[in-house]
Amino acid sequence: MTTLTDQIVIVTGAGSGIGRSTALAAAHAGATVICTDIKAADETTEAIREEGGQARGHELDVRDREGWKNVTASTLSEFGRISGLCQVAGIVSPTPDTAVDLTEDSWNLILDIDLKGMWLGMQAVIPSMIESGGGKIVNVSSVAALIGMQNTAAYAAAKGGIIALSRQTSIQYAADKVRVNVIAPGTIETPILGDIPKELYDAMTAGTPAGRLGQPEDVASLAVHLLSAGGDFIVGQTFVIDGGWTAH
């Protein structure tokens, strides 16, 4: 059920972290992967090719409508269709992220990349998916959209918007066989964590019932399943991957 043989899948944020792991996992499952990132994703693309897979790399700022048009047009020109889209690209605020301390520039940056980028991606690929008989979209949100967390005002707003937008879009195009779902990761060991103090790392690990922090591969495996035939009857759902952190 998780094979992606002959599928054409675009992955954003494919240069590192969850995006890179998802691109690699999709390729392992048989997909041709269009690896995109703000600084391209050449290393990921080459890694897939070195393992015998098929990949193309594109530089993409997810905030840029023309960039999305270029990636979509290039993919359709070469392969004729887009089977899947996994949107991982996102950032956290570079300044204090509270309703009082957040700057307007930081608010706009977070909302543009983390939410507007998701909308532009779906707007770019859904018409071709409908034309080709359907497709799968997986948008990556966060548990910050589901529970109260300190210092995540803009981030939580954007990630909550992803869930709402994805749910609405999933219903809008369900009859066209376009499946849209969301993954909400908890704390995953990616570059976005930065060099956090060992005390904080240990505290986060201790607070996770599974006894460890998440790995990018944990998210990638579910993303690939949702992009495959296993996601055929899954519409508008949000899947939490957090090792049980929000369950207690």
Per-residue pLDDT tens for 117-148?
A: 999 999 999 999 999 999 999 999 999 999 99
Q: Which residue has the tokens 């899948």?
A: 9
Domain ranges of the chain: 8-240
CA–CA separation, 60 vs 67, rounded Å? 6
pLDDT of res. 96 = 87
Q: With 90 as the cut, is the pLDDT of residue 188 above it? A: yes
The tens digit of pLDDT for each residue in 85-123 reads: 999 999 988 788 999 999 999 999 999 999 999 999 999
What does the buried/exposed string (b/e) look like for 5-36 if buried means 16 or more CB atoms within 10 Å of the residue's CB? Answer: eebbbbbbbbbbbbbbbbbbbbbbbbbbbbbb
Q: Which of 175-184, 201-210, 219-228 has the lowest mean pLDDT?
A: 201-210
DSSP state of 40: B
* CA-based nearest residue to 26, from 12, 9, 42: 9
What is residue 192's predicted lDDT score, i.e. its pLDDT? 72
pTM: 0.96
* pLDDT at 1 (0 to 100): 59
Confidence at residue 200, expressed as pLDDT on a 0 to 100 scale:
78
Give me the pLDDT at residue 11, please.
98
Candidates 68, 107, 119, 155; catalytic one: 155
Q: What is the mean pLDDT of residues 202-207?
A: 86
**How does pLDDT run across 43-84, given as a tens digit for each residue?**
999 999 999 999 999 999 999 999 999 999 999 999 999 999
CA angle 105–106–110, rounded 5-degree value = 120
Long-range contacts of 193-201 (CB under 8 A, 24+ apart): none
CA count, 13 A, side-chain hemisphere, 66: 0
Task: For domain 8-240, give the fold.
Answer: Rossmann fold (3.40.50)
- Active site (annotated) includes residue 201: no
119: left (phi over 0), alpha (psi -120 to 50) or beta: alpha
- Compute the half-sphere exposure of residue 82: CA atoms within 13 Å on the CB side of its CA: 28
At 180 the pLDDT is 98
Amino acid, single-letter form, for residue 233: F
Structure tokens at 171: 């219903």
Contacts of 172 (CB under 8 A, 6+ apart): none
- The answer to whether 54 touches 78, Cβ cutoff 8 Å, is no
